[in-house]
């Protein structure tokens, strides 16, 4: 929708994004309840320094940062993929009901049983699949009008939210913890969680990056893509499944974090215009950047308490979406 | 009587109609013609006071239409949008009865007199047998007659219609236009409508106003307005214009004219030229 | 001949529907009083109602079950009528107080008020179990709901005209944001009262008392009077905007009024029992199905069936898994799902 705008050279964008990302990463290691100076940070990473610094940097902040980066990238890519293959600029994991239903699945599993953490991503995936499928079925398969999809997604989200809230009442002692989790936060996520979620995020992401050619074709009209020999239905399903997979797996560990999957692909698309092959990687970078920045902010804004990062992303993302609805480029002048 | 004086209209910052001065005579049928996007529907909306003038005025009975009270205006003129929304499941009689809304205070229900008038307008438009049917179940032509009945129930002396024939089959188009002519001749209703078809306009209108790119190109009786040169200039179509027994012009098109050229190379090859 | 065009009369089907609904409602109310942790016999209820029985039975009936059932009845009316108005107003069959952000706005402000009030009053002892803010929650909720509704309304304008689709999308986005904020506030500052507020957020009638009823009742009256005034303009407002203007209706004024009434109804109910979804979505649909295009009859249906669904859902919620209670909001959501799916599949 913004193809005609002047575009920036992609390599500069990559360089800039990576630079900012590294700065944020270092900042993320330093920031927290105890500020760590650069020199002691270096020492701690090399195995020296005092024990307290070492623990907070290596055991707490490092995995948390990495999860933030990876998770942001996953959400960004998932958003770009969903937006791309449904050709719907308003679609994202949050707005299609995927995140809320994944959250519902996790809450019900944790309420009704006390499962091993290994099962959480699977359950989240199942929930996200059901929710996403429901949204698209409701919206009607024939015409995937952007607004219809979003309306259906919202309905699915509110349904999932209602049931989640109800379940929380039954969950008794675990309710407070689940509420914490539902607010969406990276707090206290350590190496264990990172290891569990890593394969779920990295494998699909790699696969997605390798599939950039069919992705490009799917941006075209269905008939045109078919005429070029692409099995449109099958590819679209594959893309959607992979996108759901990464989004749902992340939700299982961080709780619902909305709007990043919407905003990151938009910024990327705005900057690169029609150079579709850079869309996925840049969405990943911007997603990582956004979530990392939001997490650092969440740690610092209400010091000494922590804000849930999901709350922050919602505060940033919703005005963005409303702005989007008010620009001329909004789809079919809603 | 509707009169515009150097009227300019705009949607937001986009100017749509420029400096139009036009008089709509009472008791006649006026057709607005012009290519897509020429501003004819916009002009029609401004007559109904739906669009504020950017400059100039729309005068209804010598008073700016913007100064009319909405309800009094609703007693003076009725308008039928291009694609009116049919309320879910509404019956024909209930829809037509909505036309009586401006005649009562907003809390009053329709009374016997209102129902009589609503019924009479259904008789006039030939939909009284459909009174108990849901509007959605009717054909396009029937629906259009129901909408006209609703406008008639409003008992105004002016009726504005935005492309009343666009979504209808050919037969229904003529049916609607003949109905409007009948209402005009028998009840003195002033009809103003935008149309696409030149020949239909020429056949039914007393006055034709042709818009092009937001400007009023020309207005006058059909035989004054419908000429080969004008059609070439405005619609970029080569035509030959003949006249029927009543002296109404009739044009048949046979080629797209070249854009921007003043005289077209095909002109001398006009097969009908010698006959006309 | 003119008999063809007489004032709209309810069809036979509609009359039968209303009568059946009314009977169902009475049955639901009686069941609501009768069943619970202790099931009462008909005889006990009769003796209890006439005030001639043991103190225990009297207490159960008058202090617990009767107010609870009546409040359920009122909030059912509130949500159903509010949803009906919003659907007419936005020409969107999916509109309801929850989706348009009104419930979310009400919830957020109520939760913030709760947390702050708690902090001010019992800052020293966060485990003090009574919060004085609880009784003012309806007011806070209404303020929040109104602010959200006005924001949605203003942001939903396009070139000064209300665009139903844009309004719905804007409402949904704002609802999403407010919901995230509510969860965040609750998770991080809810302290010991998380469970209490969570119960409220799930939309529960548990512990509803007479004072809740008296808080709510004025708003029911105001809302219903407002809707009564709106019925005739609403008939015209179903048409195209331009069409409405040329019929002499001052559209923006009436729309704003309708939105105000819908908000008052929904937000006051949220303030008392928390956000209960799906009643505002489902009941107006059923009403349209049964009543046809006749708006006054639709309204009566909304009132009767809204009350019936809520009272029924509450009875189910507290009897199905005794001694546990499923909040009415959850039951209505679960009852609403299949219906909702059916609705949307039919639309496409």
pLDDT in tens, C15-42: 888 888 888 888 888 888 777 666 777 7
Q: What is the pLDDT of residue B259?
A: 53
Question: What pLDDT was estimated at residue B263?
Answer: 45
CB-nearest partner of B101 from C5, C229, C247: C247
Strand, coil or helix: A202: helix
What band does C224 get if pLDDT is binned at 50, 70 and 90?
very high
CA geometry: angle at A170 spanning A169 and A171, to 5°? 95
Question: Has residue B192 got a pLDDT over 90?
Answer: yes
Assess B264–C contact: CB distance below 8 Å, yes or no. Answer: no
How many Å apart are CA A154 and CA A97, to the nearest integer? 6
Chain A positions in Cβ-Cβ contact with residue C347 (cut-off 8 Å): 140
Q: Do C330 and A184 touch (CB under 8 A)?
A: no
pLDDT score recorded for residue C46: 72
Interface of B with C in 97-136 (CB under 8 A): 97-99, 101-102, 106-110, 112, 115-116, 118-119, 122, 128, 131-132, 134
Rounded CA gap, A26 and B148, in Å? 72
B231/C40 Cα distance (integer angstroms): 87
pLDDT at position A7 is 56
| Strands B190-194, B158-162: pairing kind | parallel
pLDDT digit string, tens, across residues B195-229 = 988 888 888 999 999 998 888 888 898 888 888 88
**Cα–Cα distance for residue pair A74/C111, rounded to 1 Å:** 32
Q: Which one is predicted more confidently, B264 or C142?
A: C142
CB contact under 8 A, C174 and A318: yes
Max Cα separation, chain A? 65
Q: Is residue C300 over pLDDT 90? A: yes
Residue B188 burial (CB count, 10 A): 11
Please state the domain extents for chain A: 49-327
Contacts of B9 (CB under 8 A, 6+ apart): B15, B16, B17, B39, B42, B43, B46, B51, B53, B54
- What's the distance, CA B116 to chain centroid? 27
Kindly list the distances between the CA atom of residue C223 and the CA atoms of A93, C260, C280, C300, C309, in Å, as whole numbers in the listed order.
38, 9, 15, 14, 19
Is residue A251 within 8 Å of residue A128, measured between CB atoms?
yes
Alpha-carbon dihedral of residues B226, B230, B234, B240, nearest 10 degrees?
A: 70
Q: Assess A155–C contact: CB distance below 8 Å, yes or no.
A: yes
**Confidence at residue A3, expressed as pLDDT on a 0 to 100 scale:** 42
Q: Would residue B208 be called left, alpha or beta, if left means φ above 0 and alpha means ψ between -120 and 50 degrees?
A: beta
Q: Which chains touch A (3 or more CB pairs under 8 A)?
A: C
pLDDT tens over chain A, length 334 residues: 344 444 567 788 888 888 988 888 888 888 777 777 777 777 777 777 777 777 777 778 888 888 889 999 999 999 999 888 887 777 888 888 888 899 999 888 888 877 777 788 888 889 998 998 888 777 765 555 666 777 778 778 878 887 887 787 777 667 777 877 888 877 777 788 888 888 888 888 888 888 878 888 777 777 777 777 677 778 888 888 888 888 888 888 888 888 888 888 888 888 887 777 888 888 999 999 999 999 888 888 877 777 888 888 888 888 888 887 777 544 433 3
pLDDT bracket for residue C127 (50, 70, 90): very low
Nearest residue to A248 (alpha-carbon basis) of A85, A120, A116: A120
Q: How far is C197 from chain A (nearest CA, A)?
A: 10
pLDDT of C274 reads 82
* DSSP calls for C130-164: --GGGGGHHHHHHHHHHHHHHHHHHHTEETTEE-H
Tokens 């509420």 belong to: A179
Q: Which residue of C has its CA nearest to A146?
A: C169
If you average pLDDT over residues B31-35, what whole number do you get?
A: 89
CATH architecture of A49-327: Orthogonal Bundle (1.10)
Whether the predicted pLDDT of C173 surpasses 50: yes
Contacts C229 to B, Cβ<8 Å? 107
**ipTM attached to this prediction:** 0.78
């Amino acid at each position: 929708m913004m193809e005609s705008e002047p575009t920036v050279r992609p390599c500069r964008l990559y360089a800039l994004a990576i630079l900012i990302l590294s700065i944020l990463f270092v900042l993320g290691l330093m920031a927290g309840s105890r500020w760590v100076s650069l020199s002691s940070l270096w020492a701690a990473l090399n195995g020296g320094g005092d024990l307290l610094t070492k623990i907070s940097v290596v055991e707490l902040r490092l995995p948390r940062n990495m999860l933030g980066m990876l998770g942001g990238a996953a959400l960004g890519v998932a958003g770009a993929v969903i937006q791309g293959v449904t050709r719907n600029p308003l679609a994202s994991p949050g707005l299609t009901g995927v995140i809320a239903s994944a959250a519902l699945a996790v809450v019900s599993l944790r309420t009704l049983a006390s499962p091993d953490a290994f099962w959480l991503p699977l359950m989240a995936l199942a929930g996200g699949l059901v929710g996403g499928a429901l949204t698209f079925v409701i919206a009607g398969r024939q015409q995937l009008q952007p607004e219809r999809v979003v309306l259906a997604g919202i309905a699915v989200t509110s349904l999932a939210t209602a049931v989640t809230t109800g379940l929380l009442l039954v969950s008794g002692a675990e309710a407070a913890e689940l509420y914490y989790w539902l607010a969406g936060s990276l707090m206290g996520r350590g190496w264990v969680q990172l290891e569990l979620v890593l394969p779920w995020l990295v494998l699909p992401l790699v696969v997605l990056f390798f599939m950039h050619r069919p992705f490009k074709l799917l941006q075209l009209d269905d008939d045109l893509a078919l005429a070029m020999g692409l099995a449109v239905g099958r590819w679209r399903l594959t893309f959607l499944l992979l996108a759901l997979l990464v989004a749902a797996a992340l939700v299982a560990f961080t709780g619902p974090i909305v709007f990043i999957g919407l905003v990151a692909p938009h910024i990327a698309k705005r900057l690169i215009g029609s150079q579709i092959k850079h869309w996925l990687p840049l969405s990943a970078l911007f997603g990582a950047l956004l979530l990392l920045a939001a997490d650092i902010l969440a740690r610092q804004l209400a010091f000494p308490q922590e804000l849930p990062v999901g709350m922050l992303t919602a505060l940033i993302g919703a005005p963005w979406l409303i702005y989007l609805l008010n620009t001329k480029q909004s789809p079919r002048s809603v | 009587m509707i009169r515009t004086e150097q009227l300019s209209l705009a949607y937001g910052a986009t100017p749509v109609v420029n400096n139009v001065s036009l008089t709509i005579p009472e008791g006649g049928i006026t057709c607005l013609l012009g290519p897509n996007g020429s501003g004819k529907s916009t002009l029609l909306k401004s007559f109904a006071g739906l669009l504020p003038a950017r400059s100039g005025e729309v005068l209804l009975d010598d008073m700016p239409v913007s100064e009319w009270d909405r309800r009094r205006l609703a007693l003076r003129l009725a308008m039928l949008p291009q694609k009116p929304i049919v309320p879910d499941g509404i019956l024909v009689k209930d829809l037509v009865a909505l036309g009586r809304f401006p005649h009562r205070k907003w809390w009053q229900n329709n009374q016997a007199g209102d129902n009589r008038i609503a019924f009479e307008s259904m008789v006039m438009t030939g939909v009284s047998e459909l009174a108990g049917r849901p509007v959605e179940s009717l054909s396009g032509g029937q629906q259009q007659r129901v909408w006209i009945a609703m406008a008639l129930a409003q008992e105004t002396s002016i009726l504005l219609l935005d492309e009343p024939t666009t979504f209808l089959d050919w037969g229904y188009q003529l049916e609607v236009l003949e109905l409007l002519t009948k209402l005009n001749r028998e009840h003195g209703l002033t009809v103003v409508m935008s149309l696409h078809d030149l020949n239909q306009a020429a056949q039914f209108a007393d006055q034709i106003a042709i818009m092009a790119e937001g400007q009023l190109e020309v207005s006058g009786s059909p035989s004054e307005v419908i000429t080969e040169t004008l059609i070439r200039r405005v619609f970029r179509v080569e035509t030959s214009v003949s006249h029927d027994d009543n002296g109404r012009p009739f044009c048949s098109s046979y080629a797209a004219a070249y854009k921007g050229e003043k005289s077209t190379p095909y002109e001398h090859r006009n097969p009908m030229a010698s006959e006309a | 001949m003119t008999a063809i065009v007489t004032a709209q009369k309810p069809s036979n089907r509609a009359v039968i529907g209303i009568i059946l609904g009314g009977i169902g409602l009475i049955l639901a109310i009686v069941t609501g009083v009768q069943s619970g942790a202790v099931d009462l016999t008909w005889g006990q209820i009769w003796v209890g109602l006439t005030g001639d029985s043991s103190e225990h039975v009297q207490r159960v009936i008058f202090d617990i079950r009767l107010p609870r059932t009546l409040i359920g009845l009122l909030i059912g009316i509130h949500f159903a009528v509010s949803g009906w108005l919003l659907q007419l107003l936005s020409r969107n069959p999916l509109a309801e107080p929850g989706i348009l952000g009104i419930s979310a706005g009400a919830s957020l402000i109520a939760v913030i008020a709760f947390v702050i009030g708690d902090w001010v009053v019992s800052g020293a002892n966060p485990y003090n179990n009574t919060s004085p803010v609880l009784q003012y929650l309806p007011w806070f909720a209404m303020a929040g709901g109104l602010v959200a509704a006005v924001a949605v309304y203003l942001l939903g304008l396009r070139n000064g005209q209300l665009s139903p689709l844009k309004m719905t999308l804007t409402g949904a986005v704002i609802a999403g944001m407010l919901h995230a904020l509510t969860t965040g506030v609750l998770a991080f500052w809810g302290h010991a009262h998380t469970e209490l507020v969570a119960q409220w957020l799930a939309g529960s009638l548990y512990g509803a008392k007479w004072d809740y009823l008296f808080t709510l009742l004025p708003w029911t009256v105001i809302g219903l009077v407002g809707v009564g005034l709106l019925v005739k303009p609403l008939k015209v407002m179903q048409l195209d905007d331009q069409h409405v203007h040329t019929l002499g209706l001052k559209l923006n004024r009436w729309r704003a009024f309708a939105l105000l009434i819908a908000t008052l109804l929904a937000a006051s109910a949220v303030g008392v029992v928390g956000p209960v979804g799906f009643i505002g979505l489902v009941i107006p649909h059923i009403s349209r199905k049964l009543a046809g295009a006749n708006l006054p009859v639709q309204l009566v249906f909304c009132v009767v069936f809204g009350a019936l669904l809520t009272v029924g859902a509450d009875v189910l919620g507290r009897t199905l898994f005794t001694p546990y209670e499923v909040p009415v909001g959850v039951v209505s959501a679960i009852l609403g799902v299949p219906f909702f799916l059916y609705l949307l599949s039919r639309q496409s």
